[in-house]
Homo-oligomer: A and B are copies of this chain.
Amino acid sequence: MVNIALLGLGTVGSGVVKVLQQNKDNINNKIGTEISLKKVLVKNRDKKRDINLKDSMMTTNPDEILNDDEIDLIVELIGGEQPAYDYIKRAIQSKKSVVTANKLVIARYGPEIHRLADKNRVEISYEGSVAGGLPIIRPLKESLAANRIKEIYGILNGTTNYILTKMTQNQEEFSDVLTQAQKLGYAERDPSSDINGLDAAYKISILASIAFESFIDVESIFVEGIQDIEQVDIELAGELGYVIKLLAIAKEDGDKLDVRVHPAFISKDHPLALVNDIYNAVYLQGDAVGDVMSYGQGAGQMPTASAVVADIIQVARCICEHRPGATLIDSGARADLKKIKDVKNSFYLRIRVNDKPGVMAKVTRVLGDHQVSLASVLQKHRRSAVVPLVLITHPVREEFLMRSISELEKIEDVIEINSVIRVQEEKNPGQNKSTKTEKGE
């Protein structure tokens, strides 16, 4: 018998109780012993809930759980930094294993918590902290353990992916779609940390820490949100063969790591292009495995509960076999992140210019002076005096691109630089394999 306790009984907490009850026999079978839910920490005992839990199980006093020697495993689902961070540390210090879905605590304090867990010979697991039910943390640590990971591309925020999908499908503007998403419950009342990319930054920092075995400070990740994406950019992307997604990227670049979150053009043929609505996906490249992708619902009650209960099962197996599990190897290293100004990308530029002879020549000369060369040019609506000019550049260091933009703004016939969006020029998988594949099925 493994005794567990929940801290927090909100959306995900209730989902965890449901899954544990619904698939009880199946789960106990898999562990080889019974999981017994002993206590649940709640804010308010009297709140009406849609789950079936005995009153005596609920407590508002964390000490009743953290000081109970019979509890082997704590499941932290309060979220946010405090008091979750303190509870997790206290649990570990009391030799209890911990399962959590708290991206903030893991992204900020992962190495410290791992060291503490190793010292106390208990487990810490957090599959639910990144991309809900989509299996990625355990596969990274186990199924892909033979690989040196080279790059990770994630669609890690369901709210922004929902908004971009609806903008694409329904030809609507950002603010209108956001309002609908809030009504449907796909966006929070205060959606800022989703929209501005911060939520995705926490998640990519956790994935990159595992993949590259070094701590990634979220504060040093370049983050740009989707609030400035206009309908016209999405339409133009479509015409050029792309879709716009909020990408979370982490890749090796020489002796640095290039980690960033920003909207990006990706080819319609890329498997990430069909990741729509609230779905998430992680696409990565390993030196042996080549490219693999994991796709699923990145949030929501039951998908996240699925990940949390999978962690509970794995940790419970360790507990009943009295053995340490496979926690992250904490190398103690702190990643040196590449500055965004040094990153090379192709760019999509949308510029309003006066429709006069010679303007195009002026624009391309300024770009050329800053080592920016053009991959394609689209000029539309030639019936007015002011026309949009759409350019896609070859890969160029961001620093040079930004300098060229400052210069472009000085040209008299350039009215406005409307959009600057990075283009993810990753090869289309299956067309650019590194090695010719030999049959080995």
Contacts and interface: CB of A to CB of B under 8 A. Distances in A.
Nearest to A156: B441
* Central interface residue in A12, A133, A159, by most chain B CB within 10 Å: A133
B273 A274 contact: yes
Contact of A436 (B142, B146, B165, B185): B185
Contacts of A310: 142-146
Contact of A429 (B279, B309, B317): B279
B292 A296 contact: yes
A81 interface: no
Contacts of A293: 293-296
Given A271-B271, A289-B302, A292-B294, A437 B186 contact: yes
Interface stretch (A171-179, A319-327, A342-350): A319-327
Contacts of A288: 15, 19, 22-23, 133, 302-303, 305-306, 309
Nearest to A146: B309
Interface string A267-297: 0011101111111000000111111111111
Contact of A437 (B278, B290, B291, B429): B278
A431 B430 CA distance: 28
Contacts of A303: 288-290, 437, 440
A299 interface: yes
Nearest to A300: B437
Interface residues of A, number: 91
Nearest to A314: B142
A439 interface: yes
Interface stretch (A24-32, A215-223, A228-236): A24-32
A306 B329 contact: no
A87 to B, nearest CB: 19
A139 B135 contact: yes
Interface in A119-177: 127, 132-135, 138-139, 142-148, 157-159, 165
Which of A278, A287, A293, A305 gathers most chain B CB within 10 Å?
A: A293
A150 to B, nearest CB: 12
A135 B144 contact: yes
B292 A27 contact: no
Contacts of A298: 441
A435 interface: yes
A194 interface: yes
A301 interface: yes
Contacts of A409: none
Closest 5 CB pairs of A and B: A135-B143, A146-B309, A277-B430, A292-B296, A300-B437
Given A11-B440, A133-B290, A301-B435, 20 more contacts: A15-B440, A19-B146, A22-B287, A23-B148, A27-B146, A29-B329, A103-B441, A146-B305, A158-B437, A159-B441, A186-B437, A199-B441, A271-B271, A276-B430, A286-B306, A290-B297, A291-B297, A292-B294, A293-B296, A304-B440
22 contacts: A11-B439, A22-B287, A26-B148, A133-B289, A143-B307, A146-B312, A147-B306, A185-B438, A185-B439, A188-B439, A270-B274, A274-B274, A276-B430, A278-B430, A279-B429, A287-B302, A290-B296, A290-B302, A294-B294, A299-B439, A301-B437, A301-B438
